[in-house]
A and B are shown apart, each in its own frame.
Chain A
Amino acid sequence: MVAETQLRPGCAWVAPIGRCLLVLCIMVMAAAGCSSSGGSTTSDAPPETSAGPAAVFVALGAKETNNRDRDDLQDNWPQIVFAESIPSGGVYVNLATDDATVQSALDAQLPQATALHPTMATVWIESSDARLGTPAAVYRQKLTALVEGLRAAGATQILLLTPATSRTDAGGDLADSVAQVAKATGATLVALGDVSDRADDAGQRRIADLVSGALRGS
């Protein structure tokens, strides 16, 4: 009896330790379980991008594509198309020069585009040819060569942009020529309509929306 009554005070401190051990065991097991789920910072991190080939968008053309007469770079139609219609990881280069003709594009812009291995391209190149009076037949021939060159370089989506009318001095209708080339080559025709508002942000947005819509449909 004496032994039993003395046992309790002697071991009174041991029981809480047993409980502590149990709690510690649970904590250790919980920690081991948590560790397999990785760090908390990964939960808010975007997943790794796929290793697939990135979209490469090249814009060929003249002053209407170059847009050097405008200040707001991010409101230019090619930049809007790149921002809104090209997936993350995509590359975009504007190869347009102000006074480009279909011939100079074939000579200068196509080789640069080919070096970039484009997957999609826009071509809007009429104003200088219209001003210089490039014959429609010649224009069609050069534009066809340009489209075929882009396709050979790997572009699977080629958009030919054209305003409502664009007559040469020789009387040919370049808009019709663009439509014919698009039909003959399988490129996508984007009829821009009246582009007199091109200098405005609203005009650039309208053109961008037309191009983006054609991209989705092509």
Chain B
Amino acid sequence: MTWRDAIRLAARTVRRRPGRAVLTVLAVTLAAALLTALLTISTTAETRVLEQLSSGGPLAGIKVAAAAPDPGQVDQDNAAPGAPKSLDDAALTQISELPEVREVVPIVSTKVYVITQARDRDNHRIGPFVEDLVGVDLTRVSQLPITPVAGRLPSPGATSEIAVTQGYLERLGLQRVDAPQVVGTVLQVASPQVVADGGQFRVRGRWVKATIVGVVAQEAGDGQFLASAEMVGQARDWARAGIDESRDLQLSTSPYTGLFVVARGIDNVSKVRAQITAIGYSTSAPENLIASVRRYLHVVEIVLSSVGIIALVVAALGISNAMLAAVRERRREIGVLKAIGARDRDVYRVFLLEAGTLGFVGGVLGTLFGWAIAEAVGRVVNGYLAAQRLVGVQLTLPWTVVVGGIVGSTLLALLAGTLPAVRAARLPAREAVGGG
């Protein structure tokens, strides 16, 4: 029997029993789809986490304070700052130009008076209070340790939108689960300015009515309120226009309250911290936390790999089972083939070709289907990230997964079909024809 005859025979068998062929292909498709989707999603997730950890991001960020370093705190994760020191554009440029620094995001903050219409748990009115308003460039929020808990982040450049932290909820006697209650409410926020009035000094406020658009967990700066850098800039300008730049109110005169520095890779965090310390500023970074996250990430990798291997084994068992069923089903046909002169290797070849074809078709369909699943999951994830004003993930289907999915399914089918093919090939003609 030639290869062409074997192919014809295998194709005819597939055509004659379309139901079985389709179901076997579906089994392979399912396994390949699961594997492709799993690998695509896990590769993307891993890339995302590794990007955060290795290439820089909020987790790999270094907080720089507008203060000199305290020599006794340099190696601490949460180093207490030393004496106040102006953090200006020159310092920002100097730090940005460090070779291992990927990005520098300035942080500004100012003290504000706040009036809220909300009442505490005992229904008592909450009097005006003083708190810090933290301002950041909200177009670069993905680089900062800011996570929305409810609602959304203020729009970039908005001067009447504000986000609050859990500290504000606690001030109102609310829990984190109550966060949606404060979203949409309005605060009166005033930046103070010291002015002369009848030979005395008094404080005059520039009040802004700001809508709370979200509740966030943030570590960009110390304060219960987060807003755009523009809104905080206006408040600081107002304060500085007062007598003695409002130093009487102990407002910082530093152009930036702090910087958030993203290093090129997690391994450079310590080095960059040392360089910034040498420039003359106090730094802090969650180096111990990052080390723990890396360890847990390795565990996740092992778990994902195990799930992939289990999927492969299940697929192989499925194909093998289907082919064994085919052998049992076609005993009489095998007997006839042998009776008319087919050799063992011819029968072996027919069954292997059939298994390989089913594996190949299943692999192609499964890879396409798996990509569709991953794409759908990616859309849901990106929708959520977009709502949180975070950078979306770009799903990547590595060519190794495509080739591996198709070739792997084919090889797996050939491997799983080997035992049934051997059984079919070794089946004695008389026994096969007799149905025994």
Q: Is the interface of A mostly helix, strand, loop or mixed?
A: helix
Q: Is the CB of A39 within 8 A of B384?
A: yes
Of A20, A66, A86, A89, the most chain B CB neighbours within 10 A belong to A89
13 contacts between A and B (CB under 8 A): A2-B435, A9-B325, A11-B325, A14-B23, A21-B29, A21-B30, A28-B376, A31-B380, A41-B387, A49-B211, A74-B188, A89-B159, A99-B198
Question: Is A83 a contact of B325 with CB atoms below 8 Å?
Answer: no
A6 CA / B328 CA spacing, docked (Å): 7
Chain A nearest Cβ from B211, distance in angstroms: 5
Complex partner residue of A10 from B148, B184, B210, B321, CB under 8 angstroms: B321
Please report B residues at the A interface, Cβ cutoff 8 Å. 19-20, 23-24, 26-27, 29-30, 33, 115, 117, 127-128, 148, 150-152, 155, 158-161, 180, 183-184, 186, 188, 197-198, 202, 204-211, 213-214, 318, 321-322, 324-326, 328-332, 372-373, 375-377, 379-380, 382-388, 435
B161 and A49 form a contact (CB under 8 A): yes
| Chain A residues with CB under 8 A of B213 | 45-46
Q: A2-B332, A7-B329, A39-B384 known; 4 other A-B pairs, CB under 8 Å?
A: A3-B329, A11-B23, A35-B383, A97-B197
Q: Is A17 an interface residue (CB 8 A)?
A: yes
Q: Is the CB of A14 within 8 A of B435?
A: no
Residues from chain A with a CB closer than 8 A to the CB of B208 are 89-91
Q: A21-B30, A38-B383 are in contact. Are A92 and B388 (CB under 8 A)?
A: no
In the complex with contacts A21-B26, A31-B377, A35-B376, A44-B318 CB distance below 8 A: no
What are the residues of chain A within 8 A of B115 when measuring CB–CB? Answer: 73-74, 79, 83
Question: Roughly how many angstroms separate A99 CA and B435 CA in the complex, as a whole number?
Answer: 117
- Complex CA gap A31/B24 in Å reads 27
A-B interface, 3 closest residue pairs, ranked by CB to CB distance from nearest = A10-B325, A39-B387, A89-B160
B-chain residues with CB within 8 Å of residue A87 when the two chains form the complex: 209
Q: A3-B332, A6-B328, A46-B184 are in contact. Are A92 and B26 (CB under 8 A)?
A: no
Whether A3 touches B27, Cβ cut-off 8 Å, given contacts A83-B117, A98-B198, is: no
Cα–Cα, bound, A34→B379 (Å): 9
Q: Which residues of B contact A88 (CB under 8 A)?
A: 160, 186, 209-211
A131 contacts chain B at the CB level, 8 A cutoff: no
Q: Which residues of A contact B26 (CB under 8 A)?
A: 14, 17-18, 21
Cβ-defined partner of B325 (8 Å) among A6, A29, A49: A6
The contact of B188 among A39, A40, A66, A82, by CB within 8 Å, is A82
Q: Most chain-A CB neighbours within 10 Å: which of B117, B160, B188, B209?
A: B209
Residues of B close to A99: CB separation below 8 A: 198
Q: How many A-B residue pairs have CB under 8 A?
A: 168
CB contact between A86 and one of B152, B209, B379, B380 (< 8 Å): that residue:
B209
Measured in the bound complex, the distance between the Cα atoms of B208 and A197 in whole Å is 28
Q: Contact flags (1/0) for A89-123 with B, using CB distance below 8 Å? A: 11111110111000000000000000000000000
Residues of B within 8 A of A68 (CB): 202
Q: Provide the residues of chain A in CB contact with B332, threshold 8 Å.
A: 2-3
Q: How far is the CB of A132 from chain B (nearest CB, A)?
A: 14
A208 to chain B, nearest CB (A): 14
A32 within 8 A of B: yes
Residue numbers in B under 8 Å from A32 (CB-CB): 375-376, 379
Chain A residues lying within 8 Å of B186, measured Cβ to Cβ, are 88
Task: Tell me the complex Cα distance, A54–B210, Å.
Answer: 11
Q: How far is the CA of A41 from the CA of B19 in the complex (A)?
A: 46
Whether A48 is near chain B, meaning CB under 8 Å from some CB there, is yes
A65 to chain B, nearest CB (A): 12
B23 cross-chain contacts in A, Cβ below 8 A:
11, 14-15, 17-18
Interface status of A37 (Cβ within 8 A of chain B): yes
Taking CB atoms and an 8 Å cut-off, the chain A residues in 59-73 that contact chain B are 66, 68, 73
Contact B30 A17 (CB under 8 A): yes
CB of B325 within 8 A of CB of A97, answer no
Most chain A CB within 10 A, of B204, B210, B214, is at B204
The answer to whether B155 and A10 have CB atoms under 8 Å apart is: no
Chain B residues near A86: list those with CB within 8 A: 209
How far apart are the CA atoms of A3 and B331 in the complex, in Å? 8
Considering the complex, give the chain A residue whose CB is closest to the CB of B187.
Answer: A88
CB-CB under 8 A from B326, the residues of chain A are 10
CA distance A11 to B18 in the complex (A): 13
Contact of A45 among B127, B183, B380 (CB under 8 A): B183
Contact B330 A98 (CB under 8 A): no
Closest A residue, CB atoms, query B327: A10
Smallest Cβ distance from B126 to chain A, in angstroms? 10
| Cα A162 to Cα B296 with chains together (Å) | 71
Instruction: Kindly state the separation between the CA atoms of A110 and B204 in the bound complex, as whole angstroms.
Output: 16
A42 at the interface (CB under 8 A from B): yes
Chain B residues near A13: list those with CB within 8 A. 318, 321
Q: Which residues of B contact A11 (CB under 8 A)?
A: 19-20, 23, 322, 325
Across the interface, which residues of B come within 8 angstroms of A92, CB to CB?
206-207, 209
CB distance from B382 to the nearest CB of A (A): 7
Using known A-B contacts A14-B322, A46-B183, determine if residue A83 contacts B188 with beta carbons closer than 8 Å: yes
Q: Which residues of A contact B183 (CB under 8 A)?
A: 44-46
**Bound Cα distance from A87 to B155, whole angstroms:** 18
Contact with B along A189-216 (1 / 0, CB 8 A): 0000000000000000000000000000
